[in-house]
Structure 1
Amino acid sequence: MIEWMQKHRKWLVVTIWISAIAFIGAGGVMWGTADYSLGADSVAKVGKISISKSEFSTTYQQAFQMELQKRGGNFDEVQAQSINLQGQVLENLISNALIRNYALELGLRISDEEVMNVIKSIEFFHKDGEFSLESYDNYLSQERVSKREFEEQVRNDLLSQKIFVLLFPNLPQNQFEVPNIATPLEKQALFFALEGVADNVELEVIPASSVSVSVDEASLKKYYEQNAQNYQTTPSYEVLAITTKSAKQPYTDKDLQDFYAKNYIANGENMSDEIKPQVISAYQKQQAKSEALKSTAHLKKANKDSVIDNAQKLVISEDSGEYSEEILNALKSNGVGTTIKPIELGDDFITLKILAKNPPKTKPYDEVRSQISKEYKAKELNQKLTNLAQGRLSTFKGRNVPVRFSITELNQNQNFSIAGFDFYTSMALLQAIYQAKQNPSYAIIGENAFLFRIASQKVLPFSDSQAIDIIASDRKIDSVLNLVSDFLRSKYTIKRYI
């Protein structure tokens, strides 16, 4: 979904609100209860794919800037926490990783040529109408992002897009063309769901201040014991490692010319100064791989107490964002004492011997007490608000509030409120009203309980619009993606570290 939204930027304003509804519908009404401090190299692991801190941070900043722009500059970290922006970003990355796992299992791959074609098509890297390696390098330097990280992100996006195209082959490729894959009946049904009904609702709010939550050590320790599986260390590996640096490999002009003639052009032509840095990099990498293969024999003879030139003892965690999936999978699938042949590590190569494996262990209570306290308080607050709401449900008398949601007006004004509440609280309340299976009903949103009773409804005449075409297609896509997500979530293990 994110890839489609990025590609069809003309409709981003419309689809972003639908995504907000989807987040709420997926259970995002208990905002602000999680601790998102990052204490590991990865924020999550999905199947064989780790989501690194770097990827999470970059994606979060993009989402934050989008919110900042959408709200006219009136957005800060406090507001980001109130809408659980970090949680939304994490779930998007997890969904993307699920799709990539499946794509890899199907045998789909992205070639280096495909990655470079995308990068070369980005106008920001162009100079005088052509791709400029200097502009590309300058951008990466300014953003403090390595080529490996940037190109890996492009590769991941392309892999997700391949699955997306398989699922939705009829989506328009032209970013200015309106997506219209929904049937007339689906569009009419959506209109009545989103715009075709005006409600008059009796509403009462029970604030968090109405209840008190006490915390004692006995309760926290009991909660810790019941949920100990959620507070475990990440598996790690003690290894002896030799890293062979590509940049340190020597070369002569003759070496480069011979390499260039063999790998780039017909024999006899001289390489230009413009292409020379690329040739040097490729030649050194080839030489580094050859040198790295020689180090395998040294490591095979080594033991835990051996001293080998250029070798160092490392502890590599399974949630490490520094090492590739190939390296982590090799460590996981091989036993203690195994020497692993050289594997690429960025522009270099690393050769490993596994000295020991450290399985996960439950973290001590004192180490996670702060996290447990927050989780326990949120759980108790939710339960007490729920009890209060259920107790008052049949007798409450709230104030009358008109409720009508118009996606067309929302797209024009980018504003929606019920009874003066902020946008996200109002959207969550709207979702609760629409999904309520009984009348009256209630919802816990943030740190408040909302009791509501639909007093009357008015059906409005159907009115087709371009916004309805877009949103109906979007919801159809979303329904398919939900089915795919359910399947993939049952297929691949998801571990969250924040």
Structure 2
Amino acid sequence: MITWMQRHKRWLVITIWISTIAFVGAGFVGWGSYEYGKQGGVVAVVGDREISNDEYQEEYSRLYEQYANAFGSAFNKDMAEKLNLKNIAYTQVLQKNLILSYGESLGIDVTNKDIAKELVKYNAFLKDGKFDKDTYVQVLSQNRTTPVKFEDSLKRNILLQKIQTLFEVDANQVEVQNLNKLLFVQDDISIKILNSNDIVINPSENELKKYW
């Protein structure tokens, strides 16, 4: 278990914090319409954050693509239904917004400069090696989205990355062991099985007289 935790300590710490944030934030979640396929609908509210149906659909599409890449041609809509992919996407988008709400409460923000740095990383938006606004708008239009929606999505991802860096802890052996004890609390018991050959009694006469 220690070896596994050391190997996955980065994600373990993040998972623990996600669980903590989710537990604390659960009291601030107001459930919404939970409607699939309705444009512009709000599926949930986390703190002051409204989770739009577009955001949910984006999460579902991302998950669907991941599963399709993993399973290949064997993956289809029927398999997605059997795997309950819609609820998985809904849970994940909810957890992400709990983290985003937590980050915002800490005063972490994403600036226009942060977004601009990300935009120039997309080759599809470049023309002659430079970011071109007309190309940017055209590519987004071809993908049935707008700059506002795309940049909102980009902003969420950047904010998640910033919050994630808070949880990147380089834990040493002692810290991992203490975390292991915290997560898997149990009594330390040493057991040894004895048989008749292990029990040897050679009492002296004085010991017998004292006993009796």
In the aligned structure 2, how far is the partner of 1:93 from the partner of 1:55? 8
Q: Is 1:119 the counterpart of 2:119 in the alignment? A: yes
1:45 pairs with 2:10: no
Instruction: Give the match's secondary structure for 1:44.
Output: strand
Mapped to 1, the partners of 2:174 and 2:127 lie a distance apart of 47
TM-score normalized by the length of structure 2: 0.60
Mapped to 2, the partners of 1:117 and 1:46 lie a distance apart of 28
- CA offset at residue 54 of structure 1? 0.9
Task: Give 2:81's aligned amino acid.
Answer: Q
Number of residue equivalences: 146
Give the structure 1 partner of residue 69 of structure 2: 69
Q: How does 1:193-208 map to 2 (within 5 A)?
A: none
Per-residue CA distance 1:369-425 (angstroms, 9 max, x = gap): xxxxxxxxxxxxxxxxxxxxxxxxxxxxxxxxxxxxxxxxxxxxxxxxxxxxxxxxx
Alpha carbons of structure 1 residues 96 and 130: separation in structure 2 relative to 1, 3 Å: same
Q: 1:49·1:101 contact (CA, 8 Å) conserved in 2?
A: yes
- 1:314-344 CA-to-partner distances (Å, cap 9, x unmatched) read xxxxxxxxxxxxxxxxxxxxxxxxxxxxxxx
Q: What is the SS of the residue equivalent to 1:54? A: helix
Shift of 1:132: 2.5
* Match in the other structure for 1:89: 89
CA shift for structure 1 position 182: 7.0
Q: Does residue 1:105 correspond to 2:105, yes or no?
A: yes
1:147 paired residue number: 147
- Cα distance in 2, alignment partners of residues 74 and 146 from structure 1: 33
* 8 Å CA contact 2:35, 2:53 repeated in 1: no
Q: Which residue in the other structure is 2:156 paired with?
A: 156
What displacement does 1:36 show? 6.4
> Separation in 2 of the partners of 1:41 and 1:145?
16
Change (3 A) 1:91 1:182: farther
Q: 1:441-461 CA deviation, whole Å, 9 max, x = no partner?
A: xxxxxxxxxxxxxxxxxxxxx
Is 1:80–2:80 an aligned residue pair? yes
What one-letter code is carried by the residue in structure 2 that aligns with 1:115?
I
Q: 1:129: Cα distance to partner?
A: 2.5
Q: Higher strand proportion, which one?
A: 1
> Within 1, Cα distance between the matches of 2:159 and 2:138?
26
RMSD after superposition: 2.8
Q: 1:121–1:131: 8 Å Cα contact kept in structure 2? A: no
User: Structure 1 residues 38, 142: CA separation in 2 closer, same or farther (over 3 Å shift)?
Assistant: closer
Determine the structure 2 residue equivalent to 1:392: none
Paired residues for 1:162-173 under 5 Å: 162-168=162-168, 170=170
Change (3 A) 1:128 1:167: same
Instruction: Report deviation, 1:107.
Output: 1.4
Supply the AA of the counterpart residue of 1:137: V
1:69 deviation in Å? 1.6
* Secondary structure of 1:43 counterpart: strand
Find the counterpart in structure 2 of residue 336 from structure 1: none
Higher relative contact order (CA 8 A, sep 6+): 1
Is the partner of 1:121 in helix, strand or coil?
A: coil
Instruction: Indicate conservation of the 8 Å contact 2:42/2:52, yes or no.
Output: yes
Give the C-alpha shift of residue 102 in structure 1. 1.2
Please tell me the residue identity of whatever aligns with 2:141: S
Distance 2:79 2:138 in 1: 33
In structure 1, stretches of 5+ residues that fail to align are 1-14, 20-34, 171-180, 191-498
Per-residue deviation, 1:122: 2.1
Identity of aligned residues (%): 24
Hey, what's the Cα distance between the residues in 1 that align with 2:124 and 2:111? 22
Cα distance in 2 for residues equivalent to 1:160 and 1:51: 15
Aligned counterparts of 2:175 and 2:66: Cα–Cα separation in 1: 33
1:258-298 C-alpha deviation (Å, 9 max, x unpaired)? xxxxxxxxxxxxxxxxxxxxxxxxxxxxxxxxxxxxxxxxx
Kindly indicate whether residue 59 of structure 2 is the aligned counterpart of residue 59 of structure 1. yes
Shift of 1:49: 0.7
Structure 1 residues 183 and 116, CA gap change in structure 2 (3 angstroms):
same
Residue 50 of structure 1 aligns to a residue whose secondary structure is strand
Q: Structure 2: state its 5+ residue gaps.
A: 1-10, 16-33, 181-212
Q: Which residue identity is paired with 1:129? A: G
Normalised to the residue count of structure 1, the TM-score between the two structures is 0.27
Check conservation: 1:59, 1:89, Cα contact below 8 A: yes
Amino acid at match of 2:45: K
Matches of 1:36 and 1:69, distance apart in 2? 27
C-alpha distance in structure 1 between counterparts of 2:140 and 2:148, whole Å: 10
Alignment of 1:457-476 (within 5 A): none
- Residues 37-85 of structure 1, C-alpha deviation per residue, up to 9 Å, x if partnerless? 4568112211111111111112211211111121112111111111111
* CA pair 78-104 structure 1, distance change in 2 beyond 3 A: same
Shift of 1:126: 2.3
> Contact 2:125/2:136 (CA < 8 Å) preserved in 1?
yes
Give the equivalent residue in structure 2 for 1:224. none
8 Å contact kept, 1:36–1:86: no
Q: 1:115 to 1:38 in 2, by over 3 A?
A: same
Cα pair distance change 1:72/1:107, threshold 3 Å: same
Change (3 A) 1:81 1:182: farther
